[in-house]
Structure 1
């Protein structure tokens, strides 16, 4: 929960914040966001390496997470606290500095956290159940980052809103550390070199292929997330006479969409655990992504819309299909860690976690730039007032960018899972 708040902030709010409130052209804002996220990827292998080699009375992972969430939270508050009266270049420099700080803190938490999924249990079914609980709490983080924070920002400004949610972020990470203080873990620090460590990871071919396919999936989801604030302003304009019109007015349309999305995601977690047991993890994931494609096509036919209730219903279904993407890959990749540990006797879960997040972060880094350049090419107009008149071409491009284009990308991921990954995994996991 604590980690996902910042994940949603960087995917959902930073691009819109720069273009709608700081007056930064959308192409430049997308490039800046992408540049910072690419820098973040450089730190992943280092944090993974150092956490694998850490020795302390609290284990290899806890010290990094304990300090990292403080750095992440401070950076998030800072990036939304741009002093008034500065020029565009100064605004950009301020945002970039604190964005870099926040992403380094995020890496200090996320890499060691992901590594623990390979240490706490080696039972594949138990990992699915554990990941289901994990993603249910992640959905609450989505609600805080995507619904609560924008709502608070509308009433009291972004700096105060970010400050108010930081105790939830810090408290969630620290509570998780306390709660698993007696859980199984690997105490012995790895002694292999940096190059040797990542050589072992890349020798696991099935894992590398899964990383790439997961990155493809994430690109689709990240494009939807980055475009959603624009859609809430321009494509979902409530008529005011539907069942949820009052909620949309009280929460804002964007917050309502995320709230309904989270409801669907939480409701689906047990379903995807059950389907993973019945169909196998890969089969359940392919089913979930296929349903996601159908939903995105349906949403394309419904937009633009003045019926916020109907669109909220679609977002409940979107949350349910997104639950497969959220949960199942995170339950698959620890199984592949076991292959390397079984063959070599070396425990380098931090290195695996770093490379696992590489595909996700690369996709998250690319999405704002792709969306920004696509909208800029269609003539999208930046503003400091929140909303400005946009051309039909720009609005049509936005509609495609959050529906049919992501659906096509998910189709590529499905083909990769069925034709490339599944045969490799069957051989590796024998």
Structure 2
């Protein structure tokens, strides 16, 4: 049975709530620890990394047990409905540190509730991703679903990146988290309601955890794609980690071009961020259409080639004093980024079908846990990699917001957000062409 437009869009809506939480934890937790609680940056970084490692440990467990869940609402909905509340409550609580605690008490509080929020996130994200493999087995429908998903995800990025920091500055971190909690929970619950009558694979997976993941690892095409998606994510995460520095040191508003007033009102960083997200949003329908016309893999390769070309173009024009031209470039970069956002997420459910057809095991949750592992690992490594590059080039720290940097440090920043990500994307392109394509053709027969 074909999915309705409301079911496709309704499924994608959940990712708006998920992404708001992701952006909040990426933007605010570290600065809250260092700027509000006074935690040394080294300890604060260790805390966030430790929680991330804990998150990776819980992924395979949630994926496995969501595969085995029995309920009249299906296998995934109970996890997502409860997880949404756990995620939002943990997020609000981690910022509500009681006054008067010693430093150790502050850290214990944040670690505990950050861990709770992360468990809630995993309870939502993995079952949600698994739904793409069980609601439909039509590759075209999966492309459309993923297009809706990434469109809503981009809206979530705008909300989390533009609204929440402003709320935190005006009403405090805890109240800002409380204010957006209904949006997070509501998006996920409305998604569950919109898809309540969508087709489901009623079959469970009564096999041990070890056997489930053995089947996943034996799907060579899927494992290669998951690894290559992690490589792509490392490139994108390097750009994201370096963007705040680029907005200070590489993109300087001369005050005499069309968007100078906007850059002054929003800050250059917010303008570039918004331009990137707008490009991503408007690209989603294009990548769905192109995937249907020439195939998902060819469309993804085309998007990555465009991305590499734009990064090389950015290298040639930076540093720049023209924020209008830079905003246009970032719109195009966001457009290219839409292919990375959307198409791999539409590809990997097709590969889950191969294992189900061969073994009869419906283990979409296990597949989704492995898929997300590479993405999480890359997002964790990118700030460390960027920091090591900048430190080696003599980057100077400051509490004043900006300081005169050595030319070698500026050059390294310049290269680290353009040519290095471009080179990483070229590696992923070669992997797709030389390793993934033959495996996928053999597995899918096309």
Change (3 A) 1:105 1:207: same
Task: Kindly indicate whether the alpha-carbon contact (under 8 Å) linking 1:261 and 1:318 is maintained by their aligned counterparts in 2.
Answer: yes
**Correspondence for 2:75:** 60
Provide the C-alpha distance between the structure 1 equivalents of 2:118 and 2:166, rounded to a whole number of angstroms.
Answer: 23
Provide the C-alpha distance between the structure 2 equivalents of 1:254 and 1:346, rounded to a whole number of angstroms.
Answer: 47
Match of 1:322 among 337, 353, 378: 337
For residues 394-424 of structure 1, the C-alpha deviation after alignment (integer angstroms, 9 at most, x for no partner) is 3333332222211111111111101000010
**Correspondence for 1:142:** 157
Change (3 A) 1:234 1:161: farther
**Correspondence for 1:50:** 65
Provide the C-alpha distance between the structure 2 equivalents of 1:398 and 1:28, rounded to a whole number of angstroms.
Answer: 25
For residues 366-416 of structure 1, the C-alpha deviation after alignment (integer angstroms, 9 at most, x for no partner) is 112222333333444445554455444333333322222111111111111
Match of 1:222 among 233, 237, 248: 237
Offset of residue 132 of structure 1: 0.8
Provide the C-alpha distance between the structure 2 equivalents of 1:90 and 1:240, rounded to a whole number of angstroms.
Answer: 47
Match of 2:188 among 152, 162, 173: 173
Provide the C-alpha distance between the structure 2 equivalents of 1:378 and 1:19, rounded to a whole number of angstroms.
Answer: 25
Change (3 A) 1:360 1:416: same
1:354 aligns with 2:369: yes
**Correspondence for 1:343:** 358
1:3 aligns with 2:18: yes
Offset of residue 158 of structure 1: 3.8
Match of 2:415 among 373, 397, 400: 400
Provide the C-alpha distance between the structure 1 equivalents of 2:59 and 2:146, rounded to a whole number of angstroms.
Answer: 22
For residues 24-69 of structure 1, the C-alpha deviation after alignment (integer angstroms, 9 at most, x for no partner) is 6766655543333222111110000110111112211111111212
Report how many residues are paired: 430
Offset of residue 287 of structure 1: 0.9
**Correspondence for 1:114:** 129
Provide the C-alpha distance between the structure 2 equivalents of 1:213 and 1:100, rounded to a whole number of angstroms.
Answer: 28
Offset of residue 147 of structure 1: 2.5
Q: Select between 40-49 and 184-193 the one with higher mean Cα deviation.
A: 184-193
For residues 211-269 of structure 1, the C-alpha deviation after alignment (integer angstroms, 9 at most, x for no partner) is 10010011111121122223333333323332222222332322222221121111111
**Correspondence for 2:322:** 307
TM-score (normalizing by structure 1) = 0.91
Provide the C-alpha distance between the structure 1 equivalents of 2:229 and 2:187, rounded to a whole number of angstroms.
Answer: 26
Change (3 A) 1:36 1:342: same
For residues 267-309 of structure 1, the C-alpha deviation after alignment (integer angstroms, 9 at most, x for no partner) is 1111111111222111111111111111112222333333222
Provide the C-alpha distance between the structure 2 equivalents of 1:424 and 1:205, rounded to a whole number of angstroms.
Answer: 7
Consecutive unaligned residues of structure 2, counting only runs of 5 or more, are 1-15
**Correspondence for 1:333:** 348
Q: Secondary structure at the match of 1:54?
A: coil
Highest RCO, 1 vs 2 (Cα 8 Å, sep ≥ 6): 1
Q: Select between 306-315 and 21-30 the one with higher mean Cα deviation.
A: 21-30
Task: Kindly indicate whether the alpha-carbon contact (under 8 Å) linking 1:3 and 1:106 is maintained by their aligned counterparts in 2.
Answer: yes
Q: Select between 67-76 and 205-214 the one with higher mean Cα deviation.
A: 67-76
For residues 93-125 of structure 1, the C-alpha deviation after alignment (integer angstroms, 9 at most, x for no partner) is 554444333222111110000000001110111
The residue correspondences of 1:268-287 to structure 2 (distance < 5 A) are 268-287=283-302
Match of 2:220 among 205, 230, 233: 205
**Correspondence for 1:421:** 436
